[in-house]
């Protein structure tokens, strides 16, 4: 029977990619070992895991030594702790940051990244990107609403009527759609833009207005993700979004391209022309940002009083909810992994390193283009 280990994340992540209910579901298929306090920041004690059937291990290195398969979201692992007989499963963002897996490569281990899951029906229950995007889209609107000095819904009282806030959503994938839904629930007037024409129906179904800019390149082989656009189209986008930005009280930007820098959608000129005290929450900050002035991991206030949030640790601030979603994704993948060999579409797509060698075609292509 395979021995599965769960690592404790660093203090800024707080995510637990297995929770006690997953262990109860899978304990007939594997033995489970949990690094002490691995779930504490997400609301799960060592006692909770023990009651579910797991064994608590006091140190990271001891757990790695015992387990055959080691799970984490983004736990930092030192070279000295990696054993060459092991398999690591995580949310390694290898297409955007290859350096995250170099220590694993040097030690000759096997590595799977759930960030590379194929967009198939079978893999849907394992889709960590959708889980993360959904919860971040929701939280981004709440962060902006808290920072903004204006109310979101229209409110009438003895002193008069407050108009509803104008919210602009850039990118209408999972994060963007959740941001639209949240902003609408709060009573905002919402407008949204995405290069993918197919997203118009989703945007309008949530009650938002879709900003239609003709001329986008749409790649049916991109698995539903946006692709890079040509210079002429982006110039048109820049002009139209300039006018949208200066009318917005809040902008939530979520646009990303797998393996590429996030598209620049809010120019410096647009930011300088925005209304004072407007707020931008840039969920693409970790890959360069959709805003020209976004600073990764920081919140800044410009000279004209525009707050730009580039926080890359939002997920860890909603750890309990995030852990619930991600743990179910990881458990679904783990169940599939335990029931299949490597000659499988999902395992082939997510396997990054085999015995220390990079074997994932998508990653190989990215490395060759560096």
Paired with 202 in beta bridges are none
Question: DSSP of 161-224, one letter per residue?
Answer: EEPPPEEEEE--SHHHHHHHHHHHHTT-EEEEE-S-TTHHHHHHHTTPEEE--S-----GGGTT
pLDDT at residue number 219: 56
In angstroms, the CA 252 to CA 284 distance is 10
> What is the pTM for the complete model shown?
0.91
Q: Return per-residue pLDDT of the chain as tens, 370 residues.
A: 899 999 999 766 789 999 999 999 999 999 999 999 999 999 999 999 999 999 999 999 899 999 999 999 987 676 666 766 789 999 998 888 888 788 888 788 899 999 999 989 999 999 999 999 999 999 999 999 999 999 999 999 999 999 999 999 999 999 999 999 999 999 999 999 998 888 999 999 999 999 998 877 765 555 555 667 778 888 899 999 999 999 999 999 999 988 788 999 999 999 999 999 999 999 999 999 999 999 999 999 999 999 999 999 999 999 999 999 999 999 999 999 999 876 789 999 999 999 888 888 888 877 766 5
Q: Which tokens in the block code for residue 321?
A: 């909810």
CA dist., res. 167 & res. 280, Å (int): 10
Q: For position 231, what pLDDT does the model report?
A: 80
Q: Which two tokens stand for residue 340?
A: 């299949």
Strands 279-282, 250-253: pairing kind: parallel
Query: Which residues have CB under 8 Å from 124's CB, separation 6+?
Result: none
- Which region, left, alpha or beta, applies to residue 153 given φ > 0 means left and ψ of -120 to 50 means alpha? beta
Q: Which residues contact 294 (CB under 8 A, 6 or more apart)?
A: 280, 282, 284, 285, 288, 308, 310
130-316: CATH number: 3.40.50.720
Q: What is the DSSP string of 60-76?
A: HHHHHHH-SEEE-SS--
State the pLDDT at residue 152.
97
At 214 the pLDDT is 84
Instruction: Output b/e per residue, 273-291; b: 16+ Cβ within 10 A.
Output: ebeeebbbbbbbbbbbbbb
- Report DSSP letters for 2-21, one per residue: EEEEEPPPPTTT---SS-HH
Rounded to whole angstroms, how far apart are CA atoms 170 and 184? 15
pLDDT at residue 203, as a whole number: 97
pLDDT at 79: 62
What's the DSSP call for residue 98?
G
pLDDT score for 302: 98
CA distance 112 to 211: 38
Could you tell me the CATH superfamily of domain 2-116+319-358?
A: NAD(P)-binding Rossmann-like Domain (3.40.50.720)
Residue ranges per structural domain of the chain: 2-116+319-358, 130-316
Domains 2-116+319-358 and 130-316 fall in the same CATH topology: yes
| Residues taking part in catalysis | 119, 124, 127, 130, 225
- The neighbouring-strand residues paired with 186 are none
CA distance 3 to 10: 23
Helices 128-147, 319-339: axis angle to 10 degrees equals 170
| Residues pairing with 308 in the sheet | 280, 300
Distance CA 19, CA 21 (A): 6
């Amino acid at each position: 029977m395979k021995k599965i280990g769960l690592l404790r994340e660093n203090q800024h992540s707080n995510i637990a990619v297995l929770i006690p209910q997953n262990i109860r579901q899978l304990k007939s298929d594997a033995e489970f070992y949990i690094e002490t306090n691995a779930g504490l920041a997400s609301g799960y004690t060592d006692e909770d895991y023990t009651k579910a059937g797991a064994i608590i291990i006091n140190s990271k290195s001891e757990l790695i030594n015992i387990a055959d398969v080691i799970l984490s979201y983004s736990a930092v692992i030192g070279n000295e702790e990696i054993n060459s007989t092991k398999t690591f499963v995580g949310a390694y963002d290898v297409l955007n940051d290859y350096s995250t897996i170099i220590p694993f490569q040097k030690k000759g281990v096997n590595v799977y990244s759930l960030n590379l899951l194929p967009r198939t029906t079978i893999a849907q229950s394992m889709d960590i990107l959708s889980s993360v995007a959904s919860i971040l889209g929701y939280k981004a609107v709440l962060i902006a609403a808290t920072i903004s000095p204006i109310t979101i819904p229209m409110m009438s009282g003895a002193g008069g009527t407050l108009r509803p806030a104008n919210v602009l959503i850039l990118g209408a994938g999972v994060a963007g759609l959740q941001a639209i839904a949240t902003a609408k629930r709060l009573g905002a007037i919402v407008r949204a833009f995405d290069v993918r024409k197919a997203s118009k129906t989703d945007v309008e179904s949530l009650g938002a207005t879709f900003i239609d800019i003709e001329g986008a390149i749409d790649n049916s082989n991109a698995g539903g993700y946006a692709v890079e656009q040509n210079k002429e189209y982006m110039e048109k986008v820049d002009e139209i979004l300039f006018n949208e930005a200066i009318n917005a009280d809040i902008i939530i930007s979520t646009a990303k391209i797998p393996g590429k820098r996030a598209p620049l959608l809010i120019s410096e000129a647009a930011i300088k022309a925005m209304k004072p005290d407007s707020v931008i929450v840039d969920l693409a900050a970790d890959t360069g940002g959709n805003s020209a002035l976004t600073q990764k991991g920081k919140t800044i206030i410009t000279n004209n009083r525009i707050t730009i949030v580039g926080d890359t640790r939002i997920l860890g601030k909603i750890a309990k909810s995030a852990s619930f979603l991600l743990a179910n994704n990881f458990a679904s993948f783990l169940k599939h992994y335990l029931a299949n060999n490597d000659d499988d579409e999902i395992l082939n797509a997510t396997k990054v390193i085999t015995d220390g060698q990079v074997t994932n075609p998508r990653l190989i292509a990215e490395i060759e283009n560096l």
